[in-house]
Chains A and B, each alone.
Chain A
């Protein structure tokens, strides 16, 4: 107390003492007679009829000062957030009817009571930046319709405002009504003005500028399906017939990257969490007449953002969306360099690794995708820019008991399919491609369940570059048996396998005496004796009951043929030719031949 006040009090005490100790009154009589008017007099400041109107009155409405006895609005003390601050909870509500702030309807005030144990002290909002100077955590009072399971409560910390009925705004509130129209005009600068549009009201219901969506970036705008409001961290929509919807955070950022409402339409629901509980997604739809053009937008904390739409989305849906083998899209749609096709990349989290994939959309080859080891090998072969072209199937299980998957591809040239290829993936033989004519020859022999089995390498050039070839192997009890190869030379693809392949490779293969195979294995008879024969550049290999594989080449072969070959007098060969001391000889059923 100041010296002046102390002096005044002393004087007053003297006057009180004179009055109380005088002959006319006793202390008890004095207090017994008169009303304690102190409180009545102190009510005088609450006489707004005599207060001059000011700009502050217009912004904050009546009773905005601390002495008026009302509580502050939460957005004033909560960084613009129209929600209960930490350490408080919704304790109850009342309404004021015919509120201009709610376009003539009821305006609801929800009190945030301090939670027991939270450390707030009674005070007044004194910031010069606001006219809402009402009380903070002073009124030890509760309206009692919300959170009835909480029976311990502190004073009212602040008030949340909404035009939405409290029992709709928060399911913890009952609809048991209390009305106090005297507060109808009270407001604060951080609250919307008179009768804002419904979307703005919804924005404030979600916390307003201090809420998760953050401040406004662009005000409410009309779009063909309703209106939308762009905020710092997301967007709010009012669309027919869904009502209020939203998209937020990284999903919102990608929504803008996709072109916003004019490009992909609007969300007809809020963002949702994916089945795995980790990723998030939303569906935007650009509805034109009766046609729907949906875009599925994803975000994953590890993979980032991506989207699918059009035929890619149709395939993605068929493959069980992000739960299926492709996983999450990790890109928006991308164009190939020549812009003849588009593709979308995907990633799927497996137990200890991440699997990649891609779906292509090509007007010639259609919409197909691949993933996993097949996709990885495809990328190693230069993907769509390589010799395989575009996928024309999804990964498919291999035939037979050896397991594995494969996918087919088509090379497009001048708008037409030039040839097809495949990539086969088997845990025993690995992941390899089979291309063009070699693939055709291999498939003619039964592909992975035929004579040759699975590819064991990509197509290679021979040492002399005159041909290309692919090698193959069969699998038995998870063990590989090298089985054969297919050579492509001069436009013809010829397969070598089994004993003939083993003999040929032991004779130095294409660089040996026999040269390249020029025919497939043929089955014939010599008299009553069946035999097989395969022709080479410079000879042949014969197989019969007498010998699985006998090779004859050069002069000896020519001599054999001049004597009638297998059907001649010599019969079928019993051994391959052998060269010793400059002389090449071989043994036959009915004799032998030598060639110096």
Chain B
């Protein structure tokens, strides 16, 4: 219990530091966004090289703006949609580009090591703009096992200022839980930790309320006992009376 308390305090301190940095760079960011809106979108990718700034919208919460599902194509040319809204997990969207110098270290890790660990409940999705602005051939060296989608539409949906940029989406609420840029995957983990309020992502100590294994085993055996007793899926006795109408099949 003491350890949990100490770790919580560390997280709070870190959050304070980042908020301070954010305030200092916000004005600079605002000026840059104005430049972006008048620039040719097909020109050199906008690279964010100033102080890394994470913009948490709430530690452990998701009260930011609405997120969007993704629709685009994979590096192999497959049509792809990725759900970020209405899902049980968190999704970290990594907006990268091939011409961005800072993106280089992110690409390097993806190519050589595959997707980095960012916690058991967070899904990493790497995005680039569509094939009209990026070359799938150049990007194909990304390692197997990386969720990858090319979609220019997502840039607009999430109002991405430049690359690299990261957006954390809380699945159940469908809201942005955090966003910002970073210079490396370690900083990305900070973003995720802040967004989820889960310091275990940084420390490796899992502080989430884990279901005791005995409960999990009990649930498994309950399932089996019910089936052995002849109670199968769809059995009316499994549903409350007032939900019967709602559960009635079409």
Asked if the two chains touch in their complex, CB atoms less than 8 Å apart, one says yes
CB of B243 closer than 8 Å to a CB of A? yes
Bound Cα distance from A16 to B214, whole angstroms: 12
Bound Cα distance from A41 to B216, whole angstroms: 8
Which of A27, A28, A36 is B223 in contact with, Cβ under 8 Å? A36
Which A residues are CB-close (under 8 A) to B238? 27-28, 31
Bound Cα distance from A31 to B225, whole angstroms: 14
Contact A38/B239 with A12-B225, A16-B225 known, Cβ cut-off 8 Å: no
Residue-wise interface mask of B (90-130) relative to A, using a CB-CB cutoff of 8 A (1 in contact, 0 not): 00000000000000000000000000000000000000000
Contact A38/B221 with A28-B238, A31-B238 known, Cβ cut-off 8 Å: yes
Bound Cα distance from A39 to B221, whole angstroms: 10
Bound Cα distance from A278 to B243, whole angstroms: 76
CB of A4 closer than 8 Å to a CB of B? no
Which A residues are CB-close (under 8 A) to B217? 41
Whether A37 lies near B220 (C-beta < 8 A) is yes
Whether A16 lies near B218 (C-beta < 8 A) is yes
Bound Cα distance from A539 to B39, whole angstroms: 146
CB of B24 closer than 8 Å to a CB of A? no
Question: Which of A20-65 touch B at CB < 8 Å?
Answer: 26-29, 31-32, 34-39, 41-42
Which A residues are CB-close (under 8 A) to B220? 37-39, 41-42
Whether A15 lies near B218 (C-beta < 8 A) is yes
CB of A9 closer than 8 Å to a CB of B? yes
> Which of A15, A31, A35 gathers most chain B CB within 10 Å?
A31
Whether B219 lies near A12 (C-beta < 8 A) is no
Bound Cα distance from A28 to B239, whole angstroms: 5
Bound Cα distance from A29 to B220, whole angstroms: 17
Inter-chain CB contacts under 8 Å: number: 40
Question: Which of B228-247 touch A at CB < 8 Å?
Answer: 238-240, 243
Whether A13 lies near B223 (C-beta < 8 A) is no
Whether B223 lies near A39 (C-beta < 8 A) is yes
Whether B239 lies near A36 (C-beta < 8 A) is no
CB of B25 closer than 8 Å to a CB of A? no
User: Smallest Cβ distance from A566 to chain B, in angstroms?
Assistant: 121
CB of B81 closer than 8 Å to a CB of A? no
Contact A12/B218 with A28-B243, A38-B224, A39-B223 known, Cβ cut-off 8 Å: yes
Which of B219, B240, B243 is A38 in contact with, Cβ under 8 Å? B219
Bound Cα distance from A452 to B17, whole angstroms: 137
CB of B19 closer than 8 Å to a CB of A? no
Contact A37/B221 with A28-B238, A28-B243 known, Cβ cut-off 8 Å: no
Bound Cα distance from A359 to B233, whole angstroms: 83
21 A-B contact pairs sorted by A residue (CB < 8 Å): A12-B218, A13-B225, A15-B218, A16-B218, A16-B225, A27-B238, A28-B238, A28-B239, A28-B240, A28-B243, A29-B240, A31-B238, A36-B219, A37-B216, A37-B219, A38-B219, A38-B221, A39-B220, A39-B223, A41-B220, A42-B220
Residues of B near any A CB (own CB < 8 A) = 216-225, 238-240, 243
Given contacts A12-B221, A28-B243, A41-B219, 10 further A-B contacts (CB under 8 A): A12-B225, A13-B225, A16-B225, A28-B238, A35-B219, A37-B220, A38-B221, A38-B222, A38-B224, A39-B223
Q: Which 4 A-B pairs have the closest CB atoms?
A: A38-B220, A38-B223, A28-B240, A41-B220
